[in-house]
Amino acid sequence: MIFEGQSIQCTLSDKGIANMCFNNQNESVNKFDRATLNEWRQVIELLKDNKDVKAVIATSGKPVFIVGADITEFNELFASSREELLGWLVEANEVFTGFEDLPFPTAVAIDGMALGGGLEMCLTCDFRIASNKAQVGLPESKLGLVPGFGGSVRLARIIGPDNAFEWLSTGKAYKADKALAVGTLDAVVDSEYLIDSTEQMLLDAVEGKLDWEARRAEKKAPLQLNKTEATMSFMTSKAYIASQAGPHYPAPVRGVQLIEDSAAMKLEDAIKAEHEAFADMAQTAQASALIQLFLNDQVLKKKAKIAGKTADIDVKNATVLGAGIMGGGIAYQSASRGVPAIMKDINPDALEQGMEEAIKLFGKGVKYGKISTEKMAQGIASIKPTLSYDEIKHTDIVVEAVVENPKVKESVLAEVEGLMPEDAIICSNTSTISIDRLAKSLKRPEKFCGMHFFNPVHKMPLVEIIRGEKTSDETIASVVAYASKMGKSPVVVNDCPGFFVNRVLFPYFGGFTKLVRDGADFQQVDKVMSKKFGWPMGPAYLLDVVGMDTGRHAAEVMAEGFPDRMSKEEKDAIDVMFENDRYGQKSGSGFYVYGKDKKGRPTKEADPKAYELLKEVAAETKSFEDEEIIARTMLPMIIETVRCLEEGIIDSPAEGDMALIYGLGFPPFRGGVFKYVDEQGIESIVELAKKYQHLGKAYEPTTGMLEMAKEGKKFYQSDLS
């Protein structure tokens, strides 16, 4: 034994090959934290002067290699001064370069995932061999960062700048065959041969059959590009990546700039340039928000894992009541994740439409290489359309997705409860109707909750799990576990009008309609809220997508539930569109008019008729400053979101922010409402609210917000908590 620590163990074989095994004794996965880096430094010191060592193989004792850096350790670091951050980068990179400079060949055997810092460790090795189940990548751009352990500049020298640009900008994890094709890996073998193959490659290097020193020297040299090649590569890549990333995500472009700036440098100097780039990105608002988003997602995953252990039912078969596109989408999502689904409807045409939707989605999976045709056939076969209730006698869970009418839902729920097993769970995919109201029609309300999917089901990650007054903890746990099994991110909320997501969305729409009332051009509002604030679409376009009939119905529910701040005394833009049968995309016209171009691609254009109709409820059109448009639309949403936290509708800022990002497409680079408020400062938000509170109760800050502003508090007590 050369070294035995908590994170790394190192042994020496009789062939002179040291096996440096990453195997954290305190964690389920390997990651680069300070303790691991310190142990790695000690191992390097022991290896470099050991005359018995001829080569080193890096391995893992876990099902994955190394998942990356431990981002939770860097909370204080990212909030520290630039000088402190750069000092830490120098110290950490001394370990990576120290391993790279060992006086004998090095290789890594990658079995499983090597991401971020894990791949950066692999790039320091002379040879990289992986099993066919390995995945490698540099996902730092997804956190608003560039690699900090030499990954960007080493990768560019190994696979060329153009390939490196793609890896850095997308942040994807690449399968072994893809990584082999571009040269990130040197060989791919079956897992059972991985260690032997890697050791043989090292023995060949020791015997001079492989020139490891030449490979190392090439990696440490400047990029091998002539001036013309370099100019073309960098100019084209920067323009393309900037257009794809957009102005709110600077990290991908900074990564390209780094490689360009360091192209003529030796690796040692290129790594120093990477330090500067990392520091530039690490202390941006985008990185802070995206890292918080990552940590919040871990909160959801942890809660889902706990739910799986406390659930009283392991859902192995499901029933969807109500077919059509929504029912077909839910059935597909369940079946595609291995939970067979019965799809029940009273209408044969609806069943046919539901099956067509499921088949279409499975077909897309085959088209894009996500599943095989065999898996597609199995998935389709596991969805059983039926007109009869006979099929549900042995189901574990029923998801009701019939028309959004309380009387219809109450009737269906009461009927199905008498036919299903007594211990089975029943859920409603309602978007607005009170769970407590629906529960009154049931004999076992403790086995009932809401399970609100967002449309389109296969794309939207969020499922709201709505707890009723009598819903049991075991029922909630079982439904959370089922949603997680379906590949969704469940967030548990308490029952109230609109639940959480719709409750906070409609004040945003209210802010928009008041702007239109006061003369704002809906196209200008859409442009500001999408291009500048970062929403996937502005409020007018979103209303067209939601459907004016749906929007009007939900607005009425909100007004009834919260009359002091969500009722309206006068007709608004939504009413005008609805009364003129302009329901949005579904009818071909709303604020915009929809059609297809000559190639059959969908089109969206502002319709002069919409402006004419809006004159009934709108003042003469005038221009508004971008900041006013953002304030007047976002403040009602922000304040209502805070109310939901204060009232216990949501459990934490983390869950609230993830629900808005996964359910509404809130701009990820802003991190969600709570992170956005922290970034702007609660004092600034309160002052802005006071400025506009003449517009109504929706703009009045809560008592809790006023207290937080006085005390200078944040929702996230540290930037990355």
CB neighbour list of residue 85: distance below 8 Å, 6 or more residues apart:
77, 78, 278, 279, 282, 283
Burial 177-191 (b: 16+ CB within 10 A, else e): eebbebebbbebbee
Distance CA 300, CA 489 (A): 7
Q: Token match 């929702």: residue? A: 715
Q: Token match 């790394």: residue? A: 8
Rounded to the nearest 10°, the torsion over CA 406, 330, 503, 490 is 130
Output the CA angle 244-246-249, nearest 5 degrees. Answer: 110
Round to the nearest angstrom and report the end-to-end CA distance of the chain. Answer: 39
**Per-position DSSP letters for 263-292, written without gaps between them:** TTS-HHHHHHHHHHHHHHHHTSHHHHHHHH
Which helix (H) or strand (E) segment holds residue 583: the answer is: none
Closest CA to 436 of 406, 469, 463, 403: 469
Distances (CA, A) of 414 to 246, 427, 531: 50, 12, 47
**What token pair was written down for 530?**
């999408």
The alpha carbon of residue 643 and the mean position of all alpha carbons in its chain are separated, in whole angstroms, by 25
* Contact between residue 157 and residue 267 where contact means Cβ atoms under 8 Å apart: yes
Is 452 catalytic? The answer is yes
- Helices 267-282 and 82-100 meet at what angle, rounded to 10? 140
Q: Of these residues, 248, 275, 394, 452, which one is catalytic?
A: 452
Q: Token match 């190994």: residue? A: 158
Distances (CA, A) of 259 to 25, 153, 214: 37, 6, 22
* Contact between residue 415 and residue 443 where contact means Cβ atoms under 8 Å apart: no
Burial of 604 (0-12, 13-18, 19+ CB in 10 A): middle
* Contact between residue 23 and residue 60 where contact means Cβ atoms under 8 Å apart: yes
Burial of 51 (0-12, 13-18, 19+ CB in 10 A): exposed
**What token pair was written down for 269?**
């100097």
Give the bridge partners for 605, in sequence order.
593
**What token pair was written down for 546?**
């939601």
Which helix (H) or strand (E) segment holds residue 134: the answer is: none
* Contact between residue 95 and residue 271 where contact means Cβ atoms under 8 Å apart: no
Closest CA to 648 of 468, 503, 494, 432: 494
The alpha carbon of residue 632 and the mean position of all alpha carbons in its chain are separated, in whole angstroms, by 27
**What token pair was written down for 639?**
């304040």
Give the bridge partners for 137, in sequence order.
115, 173
Distance CA 46, CA 73 (A): 27
**What are the start-end ranges of the H helices in 30-128?**
34-48, 75-79, 82-100, 117-123
Region of 471 please: left (phi>0), alpha (psi -120 to 50) or beta: beta
* Contact between residue 588 and residue 494 where contact means Cβ atoms under 8 Å apart: no
The alpha carbon of residue 40 and the mean position of all alpha carbons in its chain are separated, in whole angstroms, by 32
- Amino acid found at 488: K
Query: What residues are annotated to the active site?
Result: 452
